[in-house]
A and B are shown apart, each in its own frame.
Chain A
Amino acid sequence: MEQQLWIWIMVGVSFAIYIGIAIWSHASSTKEFYVAGEGVSPIANGMATAADWMSAASFISMAGIISFAGYDGSVYLMGWTGGYVLLALLLAPYLRKFGKFTVPDFIGDRYYSNTARAVAVFCALIVSFTYIAGQMRGVGLVFSRYLTVDINTGVLIGMGIVLFYAVLGGMKGITYTQVAQYCVLIFAFLVPAIFISIIMTGMPIPQIGMGSKAADGIYLLEKLDGLHRELGFHQYTSGSKSKLDMFLITAALMMGTAGLPHVIVRFFTVKKVRDARKSAGWALLFIAVLYTTAPAIAVFARTNLIQTVSNKPYETLPEWFSNWETTGLLTFTDLNKDGLVQYVADPKINELVIDKDIIVMANPEIANLPNWVIGLMAAGALAAALSTAAGLLLVISSSVSHDLLKKIMYPSISEKGELVAARIAAIFAVILAGYFGINPPDFVAATVALAFGLAAASFFPAIVMGIFSKRMNKEGVISGMLVGISLMLFYMMKFKLGFFGGGTNEDWWFGVSPEGFGTLAMCANILVAVVVASQTQTPPKKVQQMIDEIRKP
């Protein structure tokens, strides 16, 4: 069957499933809308969390990033999985025990102050918006590449779908759709990886295949290191980043992951405290399936690519090469006119520019897989982008309707009114996100990765200190959060966007990249919080009792 037809079939069937689930599970109370009625089983919640977590970037770009960065790409692998250990051990069980709807809920109650709540809402909105705009753009990109529609039409279709099931179903609809989306995306990711692993090493498990010997009896990784040396790239299995930067970026990604409101809120949806712990374990297991396969794909694709193109005559390159050339993601300019492809590290003589996104998307073609696999990839990439967008949307809508409206502005609002407000807020959030998807401001691409730094610098320490210290009070935490998030915003604007005089890599404070700066901003947050708290009053009795309560089994 033709490729395009397969794509329409796979995408059409998966969308029909999502919409079916949304209708079946529409929410009728605020509890169902915000936390799925607290009745989700740990495994289902684990899958939903995994789908929520793995965005279009994880699905399409991550393997490609690692493929080009080699060892340096490990920051993403460790950072985006290690955060779940922190979540399971330090946050999820206690927040579930606390038993409210949102992260600002916890901050507001634990720190007995609506100012703290408002600061938390502000942080949640900043983090979620930087993130969701990138997702809508991802949805548009996938549509335009696979379904050959215009990118803006793609964003509009994506908006429509997300709006439909997020507004109708709330958290309940989103959770069960995400379970389906996880299955689609993981299947779509694994099938080509397994095929390629068999082709290159004869080993069906990619995680083992990447450490196996290729047909010529040389270990793949050794061969790749050799190729890299030859072409002047840094060695694949050791890094080019400084150890300090590796350390700080990994730490910022871990603590950011644990502090992202759309991830934390998932643990409010299970029945019991026990289930919150277990569910974090399942979530990480489901995520690990993709995150341990990605570096294997990276190695296969990198080796394959270099061997196929390096110093080969342009005329004899396989068909997929010209297919991707037409999309502009691969460009070849024969600088020295010898008809051969020179792919080397030195930009002066390098003739081939490769977009990192190709690594995953061109995989099925490079390995000559059947057309239905390509259809599956399209459905998988869309599942990844839509599930993340929907999860974020819910955080934005609940921040507005629950934290701002109900808790701060109109405490007397009825449940029905709050539900209506939540849905209206969701509609506005989609429209705004869609607007940014169609007219992406320059800062979106630069800031999505930095959303983690922001979360690490604001929420993570505030929540952890709220649970593990009885001495921490509202003065301490508010000043800590404000210092943390402003430092991070300042550093990000200065070095990423060129505000405040800008600066180059040489001007980085202590040589720390903006991606890694979240860790330092978090330390500043804690330091300020502890100093201020020690100079001000201890929290009231009622709050101390509340802390005792959430620590109990």
Chain B
Amino acid sequence: MNKAINNYWKTNLKYLSILLAIWFLVSFGFGILLLDLLNQIQIGGFKLGFWFAQQGSIYIFVALIFVYVFLMNRLDDKTAE
């Protein structure tokens, strides 16, 4: 049981680091640090950097939480077996 719990925590930390890396990339990365670069790309009426800062990052935030919910529910069930 102890080993299973250990694995559970390790996998959790792995999920966390991947999801938080995406979280950082879309907001601080695309929305702020790389703004000028991405603003040279235009999709529809949006400059891409501006879109990430005011729209895109928020959609991805929502998706990230639901992905985490899905991953953790699966992991919970697997560990409980």
Contact = CB atoms under 8 A, between A and B. Distances in A.
Q: Which of B16, B53, B54, B62 has the most CB of A within 10 A?
A: B54
A220 B72 contact: no
Contacts of A251: 28
Tell me what chain B mostly uses at the interface: helix, strand, loop, or mixed: helix
A552 B8 contact: yes
A255 to B, nearest CB: 12
B66 A551 contact: no
A277 B68 contact: yes
Contact of A220 (B20, B45, B54): B45
Contact of B58 (A66, A77, A93): A77
Interface in A205-245: 207, 210-213, 219-222, 237-239, 243
A337 B40 CA distance: 42
B48 to A, nearest CB: 10
**Looking at chain B, what size class is its interface with the partner chain?**
35 or more
Contacts of A548: 5
A281 B39 CA distance: 29
Given A78-B53, A237-B47, A277-B72, A284 B61 contact: yes
Interface in B1-46: 5, 8-9, 12, 16, 19-20, 23, 27-28, 31-33, 35-36, 39, 43-46
Interface string B50-62: 1101110111011
A252 to B, nearest CB: 12
Nearest to A221: B45
A274 B35 contact: no
Contacts of B68: 88-89, 277, 281
A77 B51 contact: no
Interface in A342-371: none
Interface in A24-75: 66, 71, 73-74
Contact of B45 (A212, A238, A274, A295): A212
A292 interface: yes
A82 B57 CA distance: 8
Contacts of B9: 551
A284 B65 contact: yes
A284 B45 CA distance: 26
A210 B76 contact: no
B50 to A, nearest CB: 4
B80 A553 contact: yes
B54 A295 contact: yes
Nearest to B24: A82
Contacts of B62: 281, 284-285, 288
B32 A243 contact: yes
Interface in A450-479: none
Interface in A76-135: 77-78, 81-82, 84-85, 88-90, 93
Closest 3 CB pairs of A and B: A219-B45, A74-B53, A211-B45
Interface of A: 66, 71, 73-74, 77-78, 81-82, 84-85, 88-90, 93, 207, 210-213, 219-222, 237-239, 243, 246-247, 250-251, 274, 277-278, 280-281, 284-285, 288, 291-292, 295, 548, 551-553
Interface of B: 5, 8-9, 12, 16, 19-20, 23, 27-28, 31-33, 35-36, 39, 43-47, 50-51, 53-55, 57-59, 61-62, 64-66, 68-69, 72-73, 75-76, 79-80
19 contacts: A74-B50, A77-B53, A78-B57, A81-B61, A88-B65, A89-B68, A211-B43, A211-B51, A221-B46, A237-B50, A238-B39, A250-B32, A251-B28, A277-B65, A277-B69, A280-B65, A292-B54, A553-B8, A553-B75
